[in-house]
Structure 1
Amino acid sequence: MLRLIDAGHRLSRWLVWLGGALILGSAVLVTVEVFVRKLFNMSIAGADEISGYAFGVATSLGLAFALFERAHIRVDALFLILPRPLRIFLNFFGLALLIGFAGIVTWMASGLVADTLEHGSRSITPMRTPLAIPQIPWLAGWMFFVLCGVLLFVGSLFATLTGNAAEGERRIGVKTLEEQIHDETA
């Protein structure tokens, strides 16, 4: 199980780099479009549309990496002063809620993509982009996020139930101050 989790973490790192490249590419495209519009009074058709697609895909590709890095927003002001058993329970409860929400989004997104493919839907812009092109990688990012969440939940639960609660907490718990300092200085 730990090998699967580590493989998912490695793949998520590649996907977040791909997402970052999409964001940078769209930033370059929009920058060029602004200069072309200002200097030549012309527009690169679809720059905003392409950037929107890139942002959506990049966001979904980065969700799993944020999960592995424990970077999703959490309200943890009082968390560290709670008793350890309660913290462990809350970690699993929070992860279950996150996976559940992501599962609902993924389920709804899969229906959207299925409808798009069935009807051959296209954007209502001059580019007439087949919407399946950006939607399929966007959905793949959500599916990977849910899969990684389930792997983390099961792996951490197994570690906790077999007497290695520290390992489970290290994978899904709130980062300690030392971990946060290490992340910032590394």
Structure 2
Amino acid sequence: MELAMIETLKRLNRKVAMIVGAMLLLCAAFILADIVLRQIGTPFGGTDEISGYVMALATSWGMSFTLLELGHVRIDLLRGRVETFGRALFDLFAMVVMTGVIAMIALKSWPVVERSLTNGSRANTPLETPLAWVQLPWFAGWLWFAIMSACVTIAALSLIIKRRYAETETFVGAFAEQDTLQ
């Protein structure tokens, strides 16, 4: 059940990653068009602001994909020196800490969004972008990451309780070790 859930989350996050990737490609095309138009003398303007928004969204939404693909940086000084049970415990500890940090980020980012909605805040730029337009999907990305992190943590805990330690390594282990596990 746990591994099936992880596979479903991976498929879902791959779709999210494709959308984020398409968004980044569109942003790159927009910037390229602006650069070309600068040579003619009629640039769009605002590409730096828009690209900053796109990067914020790509970061918040891309973190879940990175989590499920074992792409987050890990310092595994002790983990590699212990057996399967010890590695599973280190991995679970890492996930509990990550889930706590990400939940706190999501929790603390909501007041930023709420204030923008309440005040009708706009960017202090020539585009005067309503900040809620960017902050709502940004917040949703952090919330999504917190939910994904919690689901992965629960799945790892469940497998550890069932004494299926080796199975946790496929979705919370260290990426460098994955080649040796296969």
The normalised TM-score by structure 1 is: 0.89
Show CA shifts across 1:50-109 (max 9, x none): 111111111111111111111101112553223333322211111111111111111111
> Are the counterparts in 2 of residues 18 and 58 from structure 1 also a CA contact under 8 Å?
no
Amino acid at match of 1:45: G
Q: Does 1:25 align with 2:26?
A: yes
- For structure 2, the residue ranges without an aligned partner over 5 or more in a row are none
Q: Does 1:103 align with 2:103?
A: yes
Q: How far has the Cα of 1:179 moved from its partner?
A: 3.0
> Are the counterparts in 1 of residues 170 and 178 from structure 2 also a CA contact under 8 Å?
no
**Residue matched to 2:9:** 8
- In structure 2, do the counterparts of structure 1 residues 158 and 181 end up closer, same or farther at CA, with 3 Å as the change threshold? closer
Give distance in 1, aligned partners of 2:155 and 2:177.
24
- In structure 2, do the counterparts of structure 1 residues 43 and 176 end up closer, same or farther at CA, with 3 Å as the change threshold? closer
Amino acid at match of 2:20: G
Q: How far has the Cα of 1:111 moved from its partner?
A: 1.1
Show CA shifts across 1:139-159 (max 9, x none): 111111111111111111111
> Are the counterparts in 2 of residues 122 and 130 from structure 1 also a CA contact under 8 Å?
yes
- For structure 1, the residue ranges without an aligned partner over 5 or more in a row are none
Aligned residue-pair number: 181
Amino acid at match of 2:132: A
Show CA shifts across 1:15-51 (max 9, x none): 11111111111111111111111x2123212111111
Q: How do residues 29-44 of structure 1 correspond to structure 2 at under 5 angstroms?
A: 29-37=30-38, 39-44=39-44
**Residue matched to 1:138:** 138
> Are the counterparts in 1 of residues 6 and 171 from structure 2 also a CA contact under 8 Å?
no
Q: How do residues 1-186 of structure 1 correspond to structure 2 at under 5 angstroms?
A: 2=2, 3-37=4-38, 39-77=39-77, 79-177=79-177, 179=179
| 3-state SS, counterpart of residue 26 of structure 1 | helix
Q: Which moved more, 1:170-179 or 1:127-136?
A: 170-179
| 3-state SS, counterpart of residue 44 of structure 2 | coil
The normalised TM-score by structure 2 is: 0.90
Q: How far has the Cα of 1:160 moved from its partner?
A: 1.3
| 3-state SS, counterpart of residue 28 of structure 2 | helix
CA RMSD of aligned residues (A): 2.0
Amino acid at match of 1:17: M
Give distance in 2, aligned partners of 1:177 and 1:28.
37
Give distance in 2, aligned partners of 1:46 and 1:176.
41
Give distance in 1, aligned partners of 2:51 and 2:9.
27
> Are the counterparts in 1 of residues 30 and 47 from structure 2 also a CA contact under 8 Å?
yes
